[in-house]
C-alpha cells in the first residue's frame, strides 16, 4: 500500500507518528521510496551520498534539518 503513495505523502506519513517513522526509516523501506521517486517527472536523480528517504525529505519537508 505504501508504494502507491507519492514522496510528499510518505514524508508526511513518516512525521505523523513514531511507528510510521520507524517503518519508513528502515532499510527495507528503501524500495518504497525508490518507487515513489521514480514516478516523479523532472526530478534529478538521487545523489549517491544520501538515500532516497533523505532525498525526499530534503525536497518535500518544509522544516530545516540543519
Convert the pLDDT of each residue in 21-33 to its tens digit: 999 999 999 999 9
Q: What 3-state class would DSSP assign to 64?
A: coil
Residue 65 has pLDDT above 90, yes or no: no
pLDDT of 66 reads: 56
Residue 10 burial by CB count (10 A; 0-12/13-18/19+): exposed, middle or buried? buried
Convert the pLDDT of each residue in 6-59 to its tens digit: 999 999 999 999 999 999 999 999 999 999 999 999 999 999 999 999 999 999
Identify the band that residue 63 occupies on the pLDDT scale cut at 50, 70 and 90. Answer: confident
Amino acid at each position: 500500500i505504501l508504494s502507491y503513495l507519492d514522496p510528499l505523502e510518505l514524508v508526511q506519513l513518516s512525521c505523523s507518528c513514531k511507528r510510521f517513522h520507524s517503518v519508513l526509516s528502515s532499510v527495507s523501506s528503501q524500495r518504497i521510496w525508490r518507487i515513489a521517486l521514480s514516478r516523479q517527472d523532472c526530478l534529478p536523480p538521487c545523489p549517491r551520498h544520501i538515500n532516497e528517504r533523505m532525498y525526499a525529505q530534503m525536497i518535500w519537508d518544509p522544516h530545516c534539518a540543519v
